Structures are given as C-alpha cells and as structure tokens.
Amino acid sequence: MSYPLPFNEDARLAALNELALLDTANEPVFDRITRLVTHLLNVPIATVTLVDADRQWFKSKIGLDISETPRDVAFCAYTVIQAAPLIVKDALIDERFASNPYVTMPDGVRFYAGLPLKSSQGYVLGSLCAMDTKPRSLSATEQAAMQDLADIVAGEIQLRERLIAEQKSKEVSQRALKALHLSLEQQIEQRTRELSLVIETAYDAYLSIDEIGRVLDWNHAAEVMFGWQRKEALARTITTLMFPEGLPHASTSPIMGKAKRRDGGWLPVEIRLKSYAVNGRERRSLFIHDITERQQLERLRNQEAREDALTTLPNRRALDERLPEAMARVRRTRKPLAVLFMDLDGFKGVNDRYGHAMGDELLRDIALRLQQSVRETDFVARWAGDEFVLLLEGVDSGALVTFTNKLIRTIEQPLIVAGVTLNVSTSVGVALFMPEAVETAKELLKRADVAMYEAKHAGKGRLHLAQSVDISNDI
C-alpha cells in the first residue's frame, strides 16, 4: 500500500522531531484524554497518534497491544494530508482502506474518527483517534466533544513547543512550567467537571462542598493526599478536615496556601476554587495540587543559579549579591573588608598541553585549596575562567600581606593527575574597603582587578595592593 504526503512534509517532520515526543514513556496528561474518548464515544480503541516519516507511533493508546504501525497502513496518514477531521463510517466500503490488513483481519477496524493535532505553525503532527470494530457514525455532539479533547492535546503540544524554544534561548523559568500546567489543567477542568470518572482518576485532589462547607464529593487523590477515606470525609466540614482557619475566597487565579493532613502534617498546595449553583443552591468545587516538588525545584534552581557548575563554588551572580552585603557590614562594624582578585599564572599552558579535562581537574583542586585556606566566615567565588575572588571580612590589615603570600604559596603547590605534574601560580590584586569609603561594589572589584593586572605585569606569582594613590606596591 502507498500513502499520501503533504506538501510541507519536510517542515512537518522537523517540527515533530523538535518536539521530542516520539518513543517516550506514557504520560498521564495524554492517557487521561484517551480514557475520556473511550467513555464519551463508547468505543474500544482510542489513541493519541504521531505520524513519523515511515510509521505512526502511539503516544497514548487504549485497546491496542502494539505501539506503532507502518505509515502505509495508517488511517492517520490521510488525516495528516487533509488537515481536517476524517470520519470513516465503514472502512470495508471505503476504497482507501478496504484492503488495509488492519481492516480485513478478524475483528478489524471498521469505524475510524481522526482529528488533526496541529503544531504552533499549523503543521499536522498526528491525530486524536477513536476506532471501533463495527460500522457506526459520529453525532455532531460527539464530534464536538472529541474536538474539545483534541484541542486540549494540541494545546499541550503547543505549550511544550514554546517551552522548548525558551530552553534553547536559556530562558527557562518556573513561570513557563507553571503556565504549562495551569493552562492544561484549566482546560481539562472545564471539560470534565461533571464527569465523575475523570474526577475520580484525576491526579489532583477534588472536593465538592455545599454552602456551609460540608463535603459532598471526595476523589481518590484526596484520599491519598490527605489520609481521609471518602466515606470518612463525606458530610464533614472542610474546616475539620484540612483548612482549620476556613476556606479561601473564590478567585479566578490559583491560591497558594497550606492544607492539613489527617496525621497532623501540612502540605503546601495550590487551590483552584470555583463557585456554581445546582438547583438554586450554592456549590463550590476545589482542585487541590500538592506543590511540594515544585517548591523543591524552585529552591534547587535558585541554588544552581548561584553555583559554579565545575567547582561548586559560588559564582559571579552570588558574588554580586554577597559583596554589597559585606560592604554594608563594614559600615556597621567599622571593620575593613579585603577583596582579593586572583588570576592563575600558567593555566593556559596546562590547557594547551594537557587538554581541558586536566585544566578542569586543576580548577577543582584550586577551588578546594582556597576553601581550606580561609575562615568559615570568608567567601570564595569563581569569577570566570581561571579567576577567583575572595572576600575577607573583619580582616587584620597588618596580617593581610602575610596571608596573601601564604595563599600564593598554597596555589603553587604542584598537583599530580594521572602521573602528570601540573604547576601554576597566581597573581593577586588586593583592595581594602574601609568604613568611610564611598565607592560602589563595582568600583571596589575594579580596583582589585586592576591591582591584579599590576601584579601580573610586575612578574606574576605575587600580590599588588591597590590604594587610592598612584604608588607602586609590588611585593
């Protein structure tokens, strides 16, 4: 059998591969949709299908024991080419599919409904499919419901496309991930609020309460999240179960808060609260999402944003935050601050001769030596490349030169890696910040940086003390 190709096939395949969904594990967000298709349409088979160059692959499937088929026997190939819903009431009398082996086999496909899943650029990447082993038709209401679900899947795909684009530009943020989840959850809420099956299998806790806060509905996720079985929670008030201080007021935006578990523990949660009326009586529905992992991820990202990946030292951003704080403490305590700007001498030669792997090992060792040479209250950061900055608060200016020279000798100690001896030295610029000084953090660093270059030009492996007057201080 042959199959048609759209005019934009190359661009379509590029968009599909960029999405990185092919041959990935099952995801609840897609499996939830296929389950809903089978229940809404009363069909035995439903799939979220992606059409690759020579195959169709099922991202989510119900009623099939295979994960892919050749493209030349794929109904979805025709959905892709026409970029519009494809409804086949009886495949045996449709000349395009009558000889298809999946049609002619015992209990083969007779009915097919496929709705295209489009990318942000309008490329048809696959389809949301419903199939049956007997001929049938699709009512306007059923097709509209299926279109709503296809729009949710396409929305998820398009949101992932945008997230991938942000990752490529190194602008990934928690806001993008939050928008992805919120957008998807809100769309699913709108379509499935009154569908008890979807509510029961939802990942988030779902509660329905009356006008005085008594629980009318309580899904399985709520049982797991809060420790109360459904029969125990029903007819109890929300204040006795999880919100002792009362339920937050309804809002169009998610509400952040804490909810109490049966065991007395507290969970950070995101609450989506909606009010509606049933037969003139007020009802409120709550979808409650446990954001423990999200908060942990935010803390981890904040840490990673301020940590140098190679040496695990604080990075330049962390230094930019720490230095103004240290300068403020100088003005309060009236004790000076020393800024040591260090640049390794001979590091480029190590990289050129032995390779960057050796250079990286040397940088890690230098970072460890620096940390072991200072007090716990001191601050060591990797500025860039082979440059490091030390902040020494409350330093004894009289002992500063002795300490810095000792530090230079420490750096000059050889490092043996895989039988190779690596030797470097360091040039250090030292700038003192006194309580009465009016310079900015940027100016203070610049003074230390300039002093470092003075030390390097004076012969390397030495320090130069920066002063406000133009005096040579090579040591």
The CA radius of gyration of the chain, in Å to the nearest whole number, is 32
Pick the closest to residue 255 from 268, 265, 237 (CA basis): 268
Q: Which residues of 201-222 are buried (b: 16+ CB within 10 A; e: fewer)?
A: bbebbbbbbeeebebebbbebb
pLDDT in tens, 263-282: 988 988 888 888 888 888 88
Strand order of the β-sheet with 281-290 is: 215-218, 205-209, 281-290, 266-278, 255-260
Task: Say how far apart CA 458 and CA 427 lie, in whole Å.
Answer: 9
pLDDT in tens, 13-50: 999 999 999 999 999 999 999 999 999 999 999 999 99
- Dihedral pair phi/psi, residue 99, rounded to 5°: -100, 5
Strands (E) located in 90-222: 111-118, 124-132, 205-209, 215-218
Task: Write out the residue limits of the CATH 3.30.450.20 domain(s) in the chain.
Answer: 196-294
The amino acid at residue 276 is Y
Tokens of 410: 């420490």
Task: Write out the residue limits of the CATH 3.30.70.270 domain(s) in the chain.
Answer: 306-466
Give the count of alpha carbons within 13 A of 44, CB side only.
Answer: 13
CATH class of 9-147: alpha beta
| Residue 107 DSSP SS3 | coil
Pick the closest to residue 62 from 118, 150, 132 (CA basis): 132
**Which of 204-208, 388-392, 459-463 bottoms out in mean pLDDT, i.e. has the lowest?**
204-208
The amino acid at residue 55 is R
Task: Please check whether the domain covering 196-294 is classified as CATH 3.30.450.20.
Answer: yes
Task: Write out the residue limits of the CATH 3.30.450.40 domain(s) in the chain.
Answer: 9-147
CATH number of 306-466: 3.30.70.270
Residue 473 pLDDT: 45
Q: Are 419 and 443 in contact (CB under 8 A)?
A: no
pTM: 0.43
Q: Is the predicted pLDDT of residue 470 greater than 60, yes or no? A: no
